[in-house]
Structure 1
């Protein structure tokens, strides 16, 4: 193998060429990374990556969420916030906003209310018209388990978290109660942070009871952190053995509470 010898001028030129290829132009420290070439990020790319973890971009007040470029943001008093009274009314609470995009104007926008944890998303379809895609904000529900077990709750139980804040604001948009009856039916009912009423029916196998059982339970919250069933009844019509007259009969209830959740 023959090594080609370079004179001093050629050596300096070759060194400069390789150095320029290594550092790039515009005073970048190294050649920027691309899909095909290893390298280092530009300052813009670095900020974009940091947005994901600990460097969300702070938004000015009355920024329109629907006009944001792709990125990760935080701000308050934002326009077109899904939780505001109207689209042009600035929301007064802090929100985190995630915006990603694809080709031809398509976008996915996510808004998370920092205080309540409420979440919404919205898509914009090809062309970028905000009336396309979902055409509006879609709210995502989440459940916070406040109590779970299997009980008729004749005595009050303590919830894992209170229903309202110290200032009286509700932590949840509604309360959902899951149940199972003594006869195997399952389901859920929804209500407020004051009470939830459960209604259910059961078809009887008893020939002397020609009507279904009507089951009802009334779950109340005596305090902001306790729950108790105050009424649990089973009602039906039955026919006695001595006549054909139908009688109304009320008995102890058959509804068992299995889970109480707050819906955000």
Structure 2
């Protein structure tokens, strides 16, 4: 930790922020970025939600502050790599290999850990058949997810009145509905297969809003999660160990709450 209280890592991986949507918890991400820094920061897709912005413009000051903070970190020397996802697909194609404000745009990346292990870094939507083969269904699902988040806010407002803790409807459905569980497993297996094809030791991705770290398919699978509900990021320490960080409160009343998942062996 530095003198200013900022924790420094070898690398940070952030995905699925969805700037431009009402569900984005930009204030928590900004608080996280103020207290965490890294030599390399990977933006692993769906940072800006172009789908949402095309249908209705929503861009409060907090969303602009996140962008400015990332640009400042790049100017201060952090290597910033942006790998677009399906929601920020406007940065794909002709933008690969370009730089803006010190941020590199790449289709995918190979991250070499401090221990020499190599990881394919990719958003992951190209391995989601709903996105690639039935775009209309993906857009419909996106609207349903937005509705679930709105209903969730109203439901939890009532829970707060009665002193009950936060409860996530969409997260409950994601883990309880059999087809959703099967979908997550199929997605993880597809990403692991792609990593094997690249002859690397693991894969780091986003897309499905479910933070995870495991070796179930013979190599390391790491998912960044999201900044809509779970507010998670992946950090690589200088000794090569990886950690899932769950950021649940703002600094004004923040008590350290780090969810330490499996570490690299």
Q: Which interval holds the TM-score relative to the shorter structure?
A: under 0.3
Q: Which has more radius of gyration? A: 1
Of Structure 1 and Structure 2, the greater helix share is in 2
Q: Output the TM-score relative to the length of structure 1.
A: 0.18
Q: Output the TM-score relative to the length of structure 2.
A: 0.18
